[in-house]
Chain A
């Protein structure tokens, strides 16, 4: 099929194709932007932890408010997300348990509470575990039932993506300084703790908004894959952000096409295409791709390949 026939179909079947693609695009762009900063701060797995540990917040908010109103669910998830970062901090700052173990303990505890609440009050909670693991991007959007020009969930996601983008642009310099050098940031009169906390709030917001669409596990891919792929190709932060957005765009559209042909779940197909793009960059990156390394090795076997940064730190 040619590109224009895909376009034709998009507008012909907005509920089945157009809205899910738009939703996927918004989720993956917002995640890509936040994810770049997570990568830089070596906090990629905090994203994983939060995506699981918002569950009890969502369930409790649902039980209290008795509605699937986004605002309540969102507040519950935000509280749970902040609780997660606080718990991780409390465990690893006060004991000798390291941060990775603290993350593991925290998110499994909160996730368990969420699952138990669902199974105890399952009848009354209209949330199912499949949705949490797989996401429901494919669910037909009850499009313009209220005469709105956008389905309300997409509108909400649009607002979240815009807010994330605006916040990151507004505090770009501060975030970069805090990500690379806490000490320098503090000496410049910034409050690194505050920015850390702010980033965690934005992360919770993004994860919660994307959670329902793509599921808890796949949202991790959308957070990390774009930034990681970009990091293989460039060194500076602004081009990294730009490339990660391109990665998000390509994987969304590619994912939609693949999902259509293979009859796969859209969110999973998006991630598969995204990881294929990552694998491609890993193999063929002109800077330090695997192919370049192999090529360099076969050209001059005596010349050792440039060691990656982490190795160099060790050798020093």
Chain B
């Protein structure tokens, strides 16, 4: 993952180095409102303000994707939400330090408050019977209320210069980001990358099985707290761009999307970084089209759109593909059950005559004649049977598949009675399921192990194919 992210950083650094002359210090200072012109400006990087914003958005998306992956697989997705609200008292305190928007003081205060909030959640969970969700809610809302009161107190003293700037911490405006914000973001991102690069394996163990990691002798508590500190730092530096509420979106949604796309954690990390960067970049682009649009919501919606696509079309987890696979499987099972029933009718009268009537099929399946007719239509459709008036004929491929299914069924019954010591009257239901799944190789192995048997436990012959 670090290779991918390093490549992205290098690419952006290269872009920043070839800098054209300065137009505006921040993206928010640009006043043109024509969407087309804005789009050109955004895509050509002709304005350094745009470059800072894009760089900030990309760094933010990547950092959130990395730490977000950990909280999503640890089922602590909403911890980000709690921390982002809990930083408010720290913001107020940092502001009160010297009564102005001193970035270092505010960021330090915010990180400290977020960390205290996160530790309080852990303490509530450990020492009381209150569950994690309620503990998160308590810390989130209490700290936020304390922060509001603290800000109001500062305002009441009347000595606060420009307190309105604090609002950026609450609602977020990527357009207000400038060079120094980007530097802070880059430092935090580098810290995250460094930490993950050094402790990736340990973190993986601690995230998926804390007890196992403890047995291995890893300092699980310290790893957890370090991860928590990084999470808080990422949240604090992202707040200015996306706001208190929507930091959660940048943390959770890209990581959850990546979680749908892959089973491997390393791949999940790089997917999460990719989705986070795309979401942040496109959110910045969309909100740039008009001057009065907020950035955070557009980033969140881009991330949600990607999640929606993955929800429907992800290769293994996507619901539409899963639904199609299920339909196909159900159809195959239905066809094979019909073939098996026809074979049994033929077998019951010792293969005397080649056609089977709908009534006979309905009788052996214990269902109405209409159902037997619709069943047969599917076979006609696949060319495995032909219908002539009231009689059904199996075609050679149909007969072949029917014999295969019956063979699978009876082989499995025999296997269960002989090798697994099942009672012969308990094996049918199991075989009813497995007959559709057994592959050629498994059948060969079964035949070898059972020494090429000729009859099943009920004395019926096992057809050869």
Contact = CB atoms under 8 A, between A and B. Distances in A.
Given A217-B140, A308-B127, A275 B146 contact: yes
B129 A134 contact: no
Interface in B108-148: 124-131, 133-134, 136-138, 140-142, 144-146, 148
A98 interface: yes
Given A220-B140, A232-B130, A282-B124, A108 B77 contact: no
Interface stretch (A12-20, A162-170, A264-272): A264-272
A30 interface: no
Interface string A46-68: 01100010000000000000000
A268 B148 contact: yes
Interface in B245-297: 245-246, 248-249, 251-253, 255-256, 259-260, 292-294, 296-297
A115 B256 CA distance: 23
B126 A112 contact: no
B75 A228 contact: no
A231 interface: yes
Interface stretch (A21-29, A37-45, A177-185): A37-45
For B81, B130, B146, B153, the residue with the greatest tally of chain A CB atoms inside 10 Å of its CB is: B130
A interface, size bucket: 35 or more
A194 interface: no
B317 interface: yes
A173 interface: no
Contacts of A271: 141-142, 144-145
A98 B141 CA distance: 23
Contacts of B251: 104
B81 A48 contact: yes
A309 interface: yes
**B interface majority secondary structure:** helix
A200 B239 CA distance: 30
A45 B75 CA distance: 13
Given A39-B134, A308-B129, A265 B152 contact: yes
Contacts of A48: 78, 81, 137, 140
Contacts of B138: 221, 224-225, 228, 275, 278
Contacts of A187: none
Contacts of B75: 98, 100-101
A104 B294 contact: no
Contacts of B253: 104-105, 108-109
B170 interface: yes
A270 B304 CA distance: 35
B24 interface: no
A311 interface: yes
A278 B124 CA distance: 11
B293 A112 contact: no
Interface in B227-258: 244-246, 248-249, 251-253, 255-256
Interface stretch (A3-11, A74-82, A89-97, A201-209): A89-97
Contacts of B298: 112, 116
Given A225-B141, A262-B149, A308-B128, A104 B77 contact: yes
Contacts of B317: 95-96
A212 interface: no
Contacts of B296: 112, 115
B301 A109 contact: yes
A232 B130 CA distance: 8
Contact of A109 (B170, B249, B292): B249
Interface string A248-279: 00000000000000111101111110110010
B134 A134 contact: no
Given A45-B78, A232-B128, A104 B171 contact: no
A224 B134 contact: yes
Contacts of A275: 138, 141-142, 145-146
Given A308-B128, A310-B131, A103 B77 contact: yes
Interface in A269-316: 269-272, 274-275, 278, 282, 288, 290, 293, 308-311
Contact of B149 (A231, A264, A278): A264
Interface string B52-81: 000000000000000000001001111011
Given A95-B319, A221-B141, A275-B146, A113 B301 contact: yes
B409 interface: no
Contacts of A265: 148-149, 152
Given A44-B137, A104-B81, A263-B156, A119 B145 contact: no
B189 interface: no
Contact of A52 (B124, B148, B245): B245
For B245, B255, B317, B319, the residue with the greatest tally of chain A CB atoms inside 10 Å of its CB is: B245
B134 A105 contact: no
Nearest to B243: A115
Nearest to A221: B141
A306 B319 CA distance: 45
B127 A293 contact: yes
A108 B252 contact: yes
B300 interface: yes
Nearest to A227: B134
A223 interface: yes
B245 A111 contact: yes
A262 B153 contact: yes
Interface string B162-183: 0000000011000000000000
Given A225-B142, A269-B149, A112 B134 contact: no
Contacts of A116: 293-294, 297-298, 301
A104 B144 CA distance: 18
Given A97-B260, A133-B170, A105 B245 contact: no
A33 interface: no
B226 to A, nearest CB: 22
24 contacts: A39-B131, A39-B134, A48-B81, A101-B252, A101-B256, A104-B78, A105-B249, A105-B253, A108-B248, A108-B300, A109-B249, A109-B253, A115-B296, A119-B292, A217-B145, A218-B141, A220-B137, A262-B156, A268-B148, A269-B145, A270-B145, A275-B138, A275-B145, A309-B129
* A-B residue pairs, 8 tightest by C-beta: A221-B141, A108-B249, A275-B142, A271-B145, A112-B297, A104-B252, A268-B148, A101-B77
Interface of B: 72, 75-78, 80-81, 85, 124-131, 133-134, 136-138, 140-142, 144-146, 148-149, 152-153, 156, 170-171, 244-246, 248-249, 251-253, 255-256, 259-260, 292-294, 296-298, 300-301, 304, 307, 311, 317, 319
Given A45-B78, A224-B134, 14 more contacts: A43-B133, A44-B136, A48-B140, A95-B260, A98-B75, A100-B78, A103-B78, A105-B253, A112-B296, A112-B298, A119-B294, A224-B141, A228-B138, A264-B148
